[in-house]
Amino acid sequence: MTSFNSKNVLITGGASGIGFIMGRMALQRGVHHLVLWDINPDALQKAAKELQSSGYSVSTNVVDVRDYKQIQETADQVLKEIDKVDMLFNNAGIIVGKSFKDHSYEDIENTLAVNSAGLMYVARAFISSMINHGFGRIVNIASAAGLSPNPGMTVYAASKWAAVGWSDSLRLEMEKHHKEIKVLTVMPSYINTGMFDGVKAPQLIPLLDAEKISAKILNAVEKEKIHLREPFIIKCSPFIKGVLPTRIYDFIAGKVLKVYSSMDTFTGRKENNND
C-alpha cells in the first residue's frame, strides 16, 4: 500500500477539472506539499488561493507541457525548493473534436505535443530524482480513447494510444530496473468536467462524475494498481477488441453501444478544450 501522508505531489493541468479535484483530495489525504502546474495563470492563482485558504501548503508554476526546456527548468526549480516530488500526476490534456480533414497542422501538432510528448517530458524531468530518492509514483491520465478508435477524435485517440503504450512500457522498465518507482495508467471514458461538453454518452458508458473518478484514481495509487479503466465496460474493452473480428467489433461499438456517434454533437469548452 502507498500512503499520501507527508508526500510531495505535482499535478499538471492542476488548475481545473480532475487535476484540481485530485489535488484537493490528495491534500485531504495528508499530502505535505502540492505543486500545481498549468498553462493558465489566472486559473492557477484562483486554485491555489482556494486550497491555501484551508491551510494547505500549495505552490504553482505556469508551465506549457509542450516546451521541454521550460519543463526541465521549472522542474529543477521545484526540486531545489522542495527537494523531491514523490508523486507525479500527468493530467494535462487537450482535445480537438472534429473530423480529421478539418484539423489544421497546428491542431495535430498541439494535440500530440500535450497528450503524448508532454507526459514523457514531465516524467523525464522528475524520474531521475525519484530513482535517487528511492521512491516514486507516476500517474498518467490517458483515456479509453487509447483503447478503441472513435470518429471525431482521430488525433486525440492517436495521442492517447501513444500515451497508453508509453506509460505501460515505462511501467515494465521500472519493474525491471527500479521497483521503487510504480506507474499507473488511467483510461477513463468521458468525464463530466466540461472538456467533453456536448458528447452523447454511449450505451452502457455513462459520463463519469469528476469527483468519483478522482477518488478512484487516488485509491488506485494507494492500492498500487497498474491500470485503472472506468466505467466497468471499459475494463473489458481490450479483451473484446482482441477476440472479435474488426467488423463485428465495429458493429457492437458503433451500432449497439453508439460509441462511434458519441462525438457527433461535441462542443467542448468555449474558451479551450483543456482538462
Q: DSSP state, 74?
A: H
Q: List the catalytic residue out of 156, 190, 249, 260.
A: 156
C-alpha cell at 109: 501538432
The string of pLDDT tens digits covering residues 213-267 is 999 999 999 999 999 999 999 999 999 999 999 999 999 999 999 999 999 899 9
Inform me whether the pLDDT recorded for 274 exceeds 60.
Answer: no
Q: Grade residue 270 by pLDDT with cuts at 50, 70 and 90.
A: low
Name the residue type at position 205: I
Angle at 217 between CA 212 and CA 221, to 5 degrees: 145
Q: What was the pLDDT predicted at 273? A: 45
Max CA-CA distance within the chain? 55
SS3 category, 153: coil
pTM score:
0.94
Domain limits, the chain: 8-261
d(CA 39, CA 266): 23
C-alpha cell at 226: 497498474
The string of pLDDT tens digits covering residues 76-134 is 999 999 999 999 999 999 999 999 999 999 999 999 999 999 999 999 999 999 999 99
Inform me whether the pLDDT recorded for 178 exceeds 50.
Answer: yes
Inform me whether the pLDDT recorded for 271 exceeds 80.
Answer: no
- Other CB atoms closer than 10 Å to residue 9's CB: what's the count? 25
Q: What was the pLDDT predicted at 194? A: 84
CA 61 from centre of chain:
18
d(CA 20, CA 23): 5
Q: What was the pLDDT predicted at 272? A: 45
Extended beta strands in the chain, E state: 8-12, 33-38, 58-62, 87-90, 136-141, 181-188, 227-230
For residue 68, indicate whether it is catalytic. Answer: no
Mean pLDDT of 9-27: 98
* CB burial string 159-174: b at 16+ within 10 A, e below: bbbbbbebbbebbeeb
pLDDT, the chain, mean: 95
d(CA 119, CA 113): 9
Position with higher pLDDT, 170 vs 269: 170
Nearest one of 49, 24, 12 to 4, comparing CA atoms: 24
Share of the chain above pLDDT 90, in %: 91
The long-range contacts involving 126-129, CB below 8 angstroms and separated by at least 24 positions, are: 126/10, 126/75, 126/79, 126/85, 126/88, 127/181, 129/79, 129/84, 129/85
Mean pLDDT of 201-206: 88
Mean pLDDT of 194-214: 92
Architecture of domain 8-261: 3-Layer(aba) Sandwich (3.40)
CA distances from 203 to 98, 144, 155, 248 (A): 21, 15, 23, 17
d(CA 64, CA 71): 7
Q: Cell 495528508 belongs to which residue?
A: 30
253 neighbors 259 (Cβ within 8 angstroms): yes
Q: Cell 456536448 belongs to which residue?
A: 198
